[in-house]
Amino acid sequence: MNTFLIVLAFCVVLSTTTTTTAFSFFDDNILNGLILQNDTVTIDLASIDYGHIVKVNPEAVLSPTSLNDIQSLIKAVNDNNSSSTLSSAPKTVAARGQGHSVRGQSTAEKGIVVNMTSLGSLGRRIVVVPNSLLGPYADVGGEQIWINVLVETLKHGLSPISWTDYLGLSVGGTLSNAGISGQAFRVGPQIANVYELDVITGKGDLVTCSRIKEPELFYSVLGGLGQFGIITRARIPLTKAPNKVKWLRLFYTDFSVFSRDQERLISLNGRMREKGGVEYVEGFLLMKQGPLDLSFYSVPDQLRITTLVAQSDVVYVLELAKYVDTAPVDEDLEVLLKGLGFIPGFAFSKDVTYLEFLNRVAADEEKLRKLGLWEVPHPWLNLFIPKSRMSEFNSGVFVNILLQKKVPVGVFIVYPLNRNKWDDKMSGVIPNDEEVFYTVALLHSSTAEEVEAFDGVNNQILEFCRVARIPVKQYLPHYETQPDWINHFGSKWPSFQRSKLTFDPNKILAPGQKIFN
């Protein structure tokens, strides 16, 4: 008889049918009455992610009340899948934090989704340690979102070092990818700024790992797309938080000058406190087909910018930030600006708090939610591109495909990163060889009817890169076949595959990535 017995209990609450599933075993010590949910509302919430493109129904959802619940589930699924009497497809398990994937990566078709947010009810899941032999750090639950981590650390005058642009993401989610933003050129991605992890492996073992202790698991999990384990705690290094931020945007119509200035700024990362050094460098595009988000600028400046974009077709905006402690930075910025080639009269700045700067996307999120434009399809394409091929990519993609096809501009981000700030032992994949590579993020929003057209544009961009032999790597990757994944990981594939066999031999974790399933 199959040991994966299901007992359904039905109850009516407020005229809504709610079903829970209790997984029972002959040996009660294995699971001991773990309760799963499979009511319509819960399944619907777990079936779709931020992308709103892929809808995949799990069989059930676990909202754990302890780490032991997750371990018990994973061990039970392993036992079920190993049963000689198994008559159905093997079960899989997907950990879901904020569900901010865009192609169903946090889903588990006919499997079990673990609602990691329920761990937030366990008590102190963000613990700040201002003084230790390591220096200041925070122990943070994998389900915690970065804005809450920031708010808690700021109470001590401290802050994590590396960030993502959007702080509504979970710690475990970003560490399973890479976690990048405009600070990464000087401090590396978030995966390079972790002391220690607690991980529940695909065998159900709770393991504490670091660069010294269980290093194979540590390096595999960071950037590992959830394939080897579920991150339940991360020890994050902290640094002194600045008081304020000088936030600047500089305008260009010549991509070569724009990219030259970006690369000059990230080359100063070792001297960031000296004149000319900055803490954050990004960039984005304004295109004549719009729409244009000009909320950063005054009304008179908005009129000038609109005219410039209409005349130039494409405007490149270099965004940078200088952190302010107590000393003024105006003199430093004057020296910096004199060495850059932006359009005279098109330099704009704001003085904001550190919290306002890091949480800058929250204001956009609030506006979009009010307009009903947040929970719409997001056919995104994120790429890493070698520096030597960016000029070709600009002319072939930005100027040709996007401009000529009049593709509506969502948020089109472009900025360089330094390879030496990444640890190649980790699973995260970046282009080989060159010391500088670019992030290009085409963050589209669309209607359901437009998704196919946007995907067509994304595929045309990827085909352009293939024909031109531009060795791009996808960030937040999405592939449908294992050969594509093998090509994506390149030389890392053998170790990636070996780690899967070591830590998740039955291949139950993160099925939505479609790497091994």
Q: Which residues are catalytic?
A: 100, 165, 282
Q: 225 — phi, psi (to 5°)?
A: 60, 30
CA distances to 88, 342, 444 from 412, rounded to whole Å, are 44, 19, 8
DSSP assignments along 204-258, one per residue: S-EEEEESSSSHHHHHHHTTSTTSSEEEEEEEEEEEEPPSEEEEEEEEES-HHHH
Cβ pair 321, 348 in contact under 8 A: no
Cβ pair 58, 110 in contact under 8 A: yes
Cβ pair 514, 479 in contact under 8 A: yes
Cβ pair 109, 185 in contact under 8 A: no
The contacts of residue 132 (CB under 8 Å, 6+ apart) are none
DSSP assignments along 379-411, one per residue: --EEEEEEGGGHHHHIIIIIIIIIHHTTPPPSE
- Dihedral-angle region of residue 35 (phi above 0 means left; psi in -120 to 50 means alpha; beta otherwise): beta
C-alpha–C-alpha distance, residues 173 and 117, integer Å: 12
Q: List 8's β-bridge partners, or say none.
A: 21
Q: Which two tokens stand for residue 360?
A: 């800058």
C-alpha–C-alpha distance, residues 240 and 154, integer Å: 9
> CA dihedral defined by 216, 217, 219, 223, rounded to 10 degrees?
150
C-alpha–C-alpha distance, residues 406 and 313, integer Å: 10
Q: 347 — phi, psi (to 5°)?
A: -120, 125
Q: At what angle are helices 482-489 and 493-503 packed, to 10 degrees? A: 120
